[in-house]
Amino acid sequence: MDEHEKNIILDCQSGNVERFSELYNLYIRKIYKFIYYKTLHKQTAEDLTSEVFFKALKNIYKFNAEHRFSPWIYKIAQNAVIDYFRTYKKTENIEDVWELRDDADFVEKIDEKMVFEKVKKCLAGFSSIERDIIIMRLWQDMSYDEISEATGKNTGNCKVIFSRSISKLRSEVLLAALMLLAIN
């Protein structure tokens, strides 16, 4: 664990909870993006992100400062998303939350929507765990150890899943390029 984060956590556990704002500032964008990619709804992502940090603050005294903070907060975020879909989307499969969206407030800017649609199309063929690992590794810049702790899978398995997913993605892109060349 980063020594700075460890000191912040130890301070929070000693009663100086004002220091939690430093952890908040380090992780807010990452956790928001992680939740947004799962819910595809801005207000829901904002609400769940707030809930995640509230739970983290409330339970910071339970956290073992010898462990990394990143996987712990991601696990809280993952559980918040699962709880949300259990509570509010009872008819939807929790593992398929990637497909849920509300076009009315999905993306405010057209450029963001176009980029997101490309990403969504590329990742649509992957399972939820494959998508989580790809998102955590590429967009959240998490180490395999952190991903392992957040997903509950061992580090080697995370590496294999990521590697196979990227290989699959590359082969699909190559196949699409070859098909375009054959048409022309």
Q: pTM, whole model, 2 decimals?
A: 0.62
Q: How far is CA 184 from the centre of its chain?
A: 39
> CA-CA distance, 169 to 175, in Å (whole number)?
10
- Tens of pLDDT along the chain (184 residues) come to 689 899 999 999 999 999 999 999 999 999 998 898 888 788 999 999 999 999 999 999 999 988 889 999 999 999 999 899 888 755 555 555 554 444 444 444 455 555 566 666 777 778 888 888 888 887 777 889 988 888 889 999 999 998 888 888 777 665 555 555 555 4
Q: Where are the domains of the chain?
A: 1-106, 107-184
> CA-CA distance, 27 to 21, in Å (whole number)?
10
Using CA atoms, how far residue 174 sits from 73, 167, 169, 179, in Å, is 36, 10, 9, 9
Q: What is the CATH code for 1-106? A: 1.10.1740.10
> CA-CA distance, 61 to 58, in Å (whole number)?
8
Q: Which SS3 state, helix, strand or coil, does residue 71 take? A: helix
Please give the CATH topology (third level) of the domain spanning 107-184: Arc Repressor Mutant, subunit A (1.10.10)
